[in-house]
Amino acid sequence: MPFRADAVAAGRAILRSLPVRAVQGASPRLRRITCASRVGAVLMLIAILMRAGNAEAGAQAPKVLFEQAAVDDLVRTFLVPLADPLHPKPQPTDRMVLVLWQPNPKRSDGTLVPTSWTAGDKTGFYPAPPLEHQLGFEDRNGTTTVQAQGGVVGAYLNAQEVSPATDFGKLMITPEFRWSDESAARPFSELGQALLVSLELQVPTASDAHRPGSLAYIVADLEFTDRVSGTKLSYGSKLFFNGYPQSTSMDIAYDAESRSIMVNAPDDDGSPTLLRAPGSDRFTGTPWRGWRTFSYAITGRAFSFALDRVRDRYPNANASQDPADYRLTMFHLNAEVQHDSGPAELGWSMRNARIVLQDGGS
C-alpha cells in the first residue's frame, strides 16, 4: 500500500483509496492476452504446488521466509509506534508484532490496557484468561481490542471510539513482519521461483455505511522494495470487503512523494497477477465465523505483469521493471476501517500465516 510522506519517515504503511480498474479498462489486445494467460497460469500453479511437496533432482528445497509463531507475551508483541509522537518507536525486524498506528485517545500515553470483556464474540477467537491475552482502549465491553495467545492473533476495531479527524479517518491493528536488510530475500532473482502465501482467517464482524469514508476491508499485503531506486511496491491480495460480493479488478495507486506503489490483485480465476491455489477460499463481502484458508502464489511472470501495468498507468514512476531488483521487505494483514463519513467496525482473527519461496514459477 502507498505511504504518506510523513508516514514513510516512521516506516508506516497507510492504505490509499485510489482504485483503478486496470485490466477491465485495458485495450482489447491486453484483455485477449490476459484471458489467454489463464490456462497457462493454472498449469503453472499446479506445477508449483507439486514441487512444494516433492524435492526434485537439481531443484532447490522450499525456503520458509515467514511462519506465524506462537505469541506468549502480548505486551512484548504489541506496539503503538506513535504513542509518543515526538519519539516514535521503530518497528522491530525478523519477528512478528501487532501494530496499532492510532494512539489510544482514552490515555495520555497513547497505550492500551488489559481488558476482560469477551472480545471473541466479535473476533471469533476466545483467549483465556482474557485479561492476560487482550489489550484495549478501556476495560469495558465493545472497546477496540487486540488479542494474542499461542498461534492465534485477532482484533476488534470500534471506530466510534476515535475522532473522524484522527489519522485521516482510519483505524487499524495489523500483524506485521519486517525482514532485516540481511534477511530480506529477492524472490525473483532466479528464474523459475514463486512465493506461496497462505493463512487462515475468520471475520465474524463487519459493519459500515458502504460509502467512501465508511468501509471495512482486509487485504494480505507483501511489501517489496526496489534495491535500485528504493521505491516500495505493496502487492496485495484482496480477502474481504464488507458488502462487496466480487473482486475482479486490479487496483493501482502511485504516491510520487514517497515513491510507493500499491497493486491490489483481484481474486479472479486465472488472474495474471495472483494465482489462487486449488481449494483456497475466495474473496467475499460477507462476514463469516469459522476458519477459512486462503492460499495463492506470486510468480516472477505475475510480478512482471503487475510492473508493466504500473508503467502503463504511470509512465514516469521511478520503479525498476526487472522483478529481480525487488526485495521482500514486509508482510502484514491490512485489516482496516475507514470512518470519517460514518461509523464502522471490524472483528477478525488469523492463524497459520506462512510464506514460502519455492521452485516452479516463471
* Cell numbers found for residue 240: 474481504
Asked if 159 and 175 count as a contact pair (C-beta separation under 8 A), the reply is no
- Where b means 16+ CB within 10 Å and e means fewer, 237-276 reads bbbbbbbeeebebbbbbbbeebbbbbbbbbbbebbbbbbb
Window from 148-152, 160-164, 289-293, 334-338 with minimum mean pLDDT = 160-164
- Full strand arrangement of the beta sheet holding 260-265: 78-79, 96-100, 170-178, 326-338, 215-226, 232-241, 260-265, 251-255
Residues in the chain: 362
Q: What is the mean pLDDT of the chain?
A: 85
According to the model, what pLDDT value does residue 317 have?
Answer: 80
* Cell numbers found for residue 312: 502503463
* Residue 114 confidence (pLDDT) above 90: yes
Provide the 8-state DSSP code for 98.
E
* Residue 13 confidence (pLDDT) above 80: no
- pLDDT per residue as tens digits for the range 38-71: 445 544 554 555 455 555 555 678 999 999 999 9
Angle at the Cα of 255 (from 310 to 87), degrees rounded to 5?
Answer: 140
Rounded Cα gap, residues 54 and 327, in angstroms: 26
Torsion of CA 123, 78, 137, 132, to 10 degrees: 70
- Of 66, 108, 110, give the one whose Cα is nearest residue 89: 110
According to the model, what pLDDT value does residue 18 have?
Answer: 35
According to the model, what pLDDT value does residue 259 have?
Answer: 63
According to the model, what pLDDT value does residue 257 have?
Answer: 46
Q: What percent of the chain has pLDDT over 70?
A: 80
Tell me what the mean pLDDT of segment 312-327 comes to. Answer: 91
According to the model, what pLDDT value does residue 45 have?
Answer: 58
Query: Regarding beta strands 193-207 and 96-100, do their DSSP bridges make them parallel or antiparallel, or are they unpaired?
Result: unpaired
Window from 91-105, 133-147, 268-282, 346-360 with minimum mean pLDDT = 268-282
Provide the 8-state DSSP code for 209.
-
- Please state the separation of Cα 345 from the chain's center in Å: 18
According to the model, what pLDDT value does residue 58 have?
Answer: 58
Asked if 41 and 272 count as a contact pair (C-beta separation under 8 A), the reply is yes
pLDDT band, residue 168 (cuts 50/70/90):
low
Window from 36-45, 82-91, 117-126, 259-268 with minimum mean pLDDT = 36-45
Strands, E, within the chain: which ranges?
63-67, 78-79, 96-100, 113-114, 134-136, 145-149, 152-158, 170-178, 193-207, 215-226, 232-241, 251-255, 260-265, 275-276, 288-299, 326-338, 345-359
Sign of CA dihedral 80, 82, 86, 87: positive
Rounded Cα gap, residues 332 and 197, in angstroms: 12
Higher pLDDT, 20 or 147: 147
- Of 240, 100, 238, give the one whose Cα is nearest residue 157: 100
Asked if 206 and 240 count as a contact pair (C-beta separation under 8 A), the reply is yes
- pLDDT per residue as tens digits for the range 292-308: 999 999 999 999 999 99
Name the residue ranges covered by the structural domains of the chain: 5-359
